[in-house]
Chain A
Amino acid sequence: MKIEGDSMKKDEESMPKILAFLCNWCSYAGADLAGTSRLKYPPSILPIRVMCSSRVDPLFIVKAYLGGIDGVLVAGCHPGDCHYEKGNYYTRRRFALLKKIFEELNIEPDRLLLSWISASEGTKYARVATEFTEKIRKLGENSVKHKIFL
């Protein structure tokens, strides 16, 4: 039992923290489906349900990044399938703009991810969660966590 406890603890230490903004109509349902289908994916995702991916103010992402989160995932309905018809098109532009700014400032744009996951794509959700976690693991811990002079 002791050995298991140790390995759990170790796993927790190396497990990145990823904030996921999931849209109510597609991606959150997709995550639900992944769960009910008993698909396995790392416990790194901290989900926040939003009514539409376009509810995600780019500054939420900035705040999370400066707060020390290791990765941010924004997920919504596929283009053309938005519950509010065009919300995700705006999300895409806002996200692209923010990512470009991260690129220009050389501050780890790879920690941000935009993905389209529909309510039926439980497998895709599990895959994105696994792959993104893997990618963030490779990037290592977000060093912002230890910065004081922000």
Chain B
Amino acid sequence: MTKALKINKNSEQGVLEVLKFLLEKGKVKGVFTLKKIGKDGAVAYSLITKSDELKDAVPFYPLMPVNAGKLLSRFTLRGSTTDPVIAVVRPCELRAFIELVKRDQGSLDNIFFISSTCGGVYPLKMAADKKIEENLSKYWDAVSKGEILTDLRSACKGCEEFIPYTSDMTVDLIAKNDIDKQCVILLNNEKAEKLVEDIKGGFLARELDKGKLDKFCGKREAEKKKLFNEIEAKVKGLDGFIDIFGKCIGCHGCSKVCPICYCKLCEFESPDSEYKPSNYETDLEKRGGLRVPPGITYFQIGRLDHVTISCVGCGACEDVCPVDIPLSSIYKKVGESVQKLFDYVPGKDVEEEIPLLTFEKEELSEFED
């Protein structure tokens, strides 16, 4: 049994109370969480050091403006924070951050993590249309009942990794029917227990309700299968691939928002991969025609090769795609199969090596001649 903290407030308020307590007692110097900005209903990740500023914080707002893993990486790239900071992030964001730390793009030192069993997020489009506020009660209703809303990000609808692996505290949200009255925070390690030891609130021994979560996972799995079947029907050979990516305008937005795509000098954006007049000539001579800008299929297959091994399936790529290419389904499907090849779950354990940086002496004989 894990020790858990119980606060008799709704889940979001409960977490805010913990954050406030930690800031006021000086146990952490800063809080990294979603916060409402201005009057227009915009929500963005923010670093907060004054407890008054927590009043507009919305740690579980169903929106992922940017994958927080990417933000935390930028925040700790040049070294860890000098004082402890606590971050409230989603499971996929935490996993993305772990993957980045493995690539020396950030540091876990001095950061505590609060995460939750995650009900998914709405697409960014919905935030732009200012429709999230009116859907909030519907969202929390579905979360507490363990149901999947149809208007979530498609990556979220089919996500089976909704329980965080390495968070210090886990907030129990999914399929917990009293989340509007009671906040239960599992303290996953001694560090977490020590942080909140003298808070006002009840402590109890609690585990996540496996039965309920398994049932929820089953629903997600069914949803995932549906997405996979759709994509499988479309990706039939290179022709199918070209059909899907025919719409691509080459903005590289998917790679800009991808937490795993971290290279500062992207190969696909370097002058080296720019077509020179001679390249156009050779290609045109051979084919008699050429799409401009060229190299979109190369970019997409190349990105699949670079990213899928560590893809956490956050769906940010699909969400920013201006031409609605079903990227998250493709990445999830390809990702699942390559990750299975190496028996790897991205972001599960920071000690586990990225498969391409290690090897077994005897393996993969089916790929050799």
A-side residues, CB < 8 A to B, are 58-59, 62-63, 66, 68, 79-80, 86, 89-90, 92-101, 103-108, 113-116, 128, 132, 143-150
Contact = CB atoms under 8 A, between A and B. Distances in A.
A143 B287 CA distance: 11
A59 B287 CA distance: 21
Interface of B: 235-238, 240-242, 246, 267, 286-291, 294-298, 301-302, 304-305, 308-309, 333-334, 337-338, 341-342, 355-356, 359-364, 367-369
A132 B369 CA distance: 10
B361 A97 contact: no
Contacts, number: 112
B289 A114 contact: no
Contacts of B267: 59
Nearest to A78: B368
Nearest to B267: A59
A64 to B, nearest CB: 11
Contacts of A95: 367
23 contacts: A62-B298, A62-B302, A62-B305, A66-B301, A90-B356, A92-B367, A94-B356, A96-B367, A97-B305, A97-B308, A100-B337, A104-B235, A104-B334, A104-B337, A105-B301, A105-B334, A114-B367, A114-B369, A116-B368, A132-B369, A144-B238, A149-B242, A150-B298
B304 A150 contact: no
A150 B295 contact: yes
Contact of B341 (A96, A107, A150): A96
A107 B241 CA distance: 9
A94 B267 CA distance: 17
Contacts of B301: 62, 66, 101, 105
Label chain A's interface by main secondary structure. helix
B369 A150 contact: no
Given A98-B305, A100-B337, A100-B341, A148 B298 contact: no
Contacts of A114: 367-369
B238 A147 contact: yes
Contacts of B287: 145-148
Given A149-B246, A149-B291, A93 B298 contact: no
Contact of B286 (A100, A103, A132, A145): A145
Nearest to A144: B238
Contacts of B304: 101, 105
B294 A150 contact: yes
Contacts of A96: 341, 364, 367
Nearest to B290: A148
Contact of A105 (B241, B286, B362): B241
B232 to A, nearest CB: 9
A97 B237 contact: no
B359 A86 contact: yes
A29 B79 CA distance: 47
A148 B236 contact: no
Contacts of B368: 92, 114-116
Nearest to A86: B359
A68 B298 contact: no
A107 B305 CA distance: 14
Contacts of A116: 368-369
B333 A104 contact: yes
**CB-based closest 4 A-B pairs:** A89-B359, A115-B369, A148-B289, A150-B297
B305 A59 contact: yes
Nearest to B338: A100
A128 B369 CA distance: 8
